Amino acid sequence: MSIVELNQENFQGAVEQMDQPLIIDFWAPWCGPCRNFAPVFEALASQHPDVTFAKVNTEEQQELATALRIRSIPTLMVFRENVLLFSQAGALSASQLEELLTQVKAVDMEQVHAEIASQDSEAPQGNSQG
């Protein structure tokens, strides 16, 4: 499977897709650890057609990187059904990335959505006293 290039225009649509997990590598051309991680990311992309692999070039997409509070690169983010499940700076080894994908695929998203809904309903809605 090919790796999708994300930018400010197509990022939200990619995150909102409901059919499969999305793993994003935030990188820059001048970043040595990013260049070392790229072959690992690409190899796993070809082994997991049920996951969307994407990259964001933080040099070209500075506004997007700032909005997502990307402070160091590489940074990986994993979304599933419009929910951020994982965010971490630093490159992973092939085995660590494989384990992460296994865990993400195993997440019970029905339960996650129920927990989010529960938290939203318990959140204070402002002071109702007059």
Active site residues: 31, 34
* The two structure tokens encoding residue 107: 């997440």
Distance from the Cα of residue 66 to its chain's centroid: 15
Neighbours of 98 (CB within 10 A): 16
* The two structure tokens encoding residue 33: 């650890």
Residue whose C-alpha is closest to residue 5's, from 33, 24, 31, 18: 24
The beta strand positions in the chain, using DSSP E, are 4-5, 22-27, 52-57, 75-80, 83-89
- The answer to whether the peptide bond before residue 74 is cis (omega within 30 degrees of 0) is yes
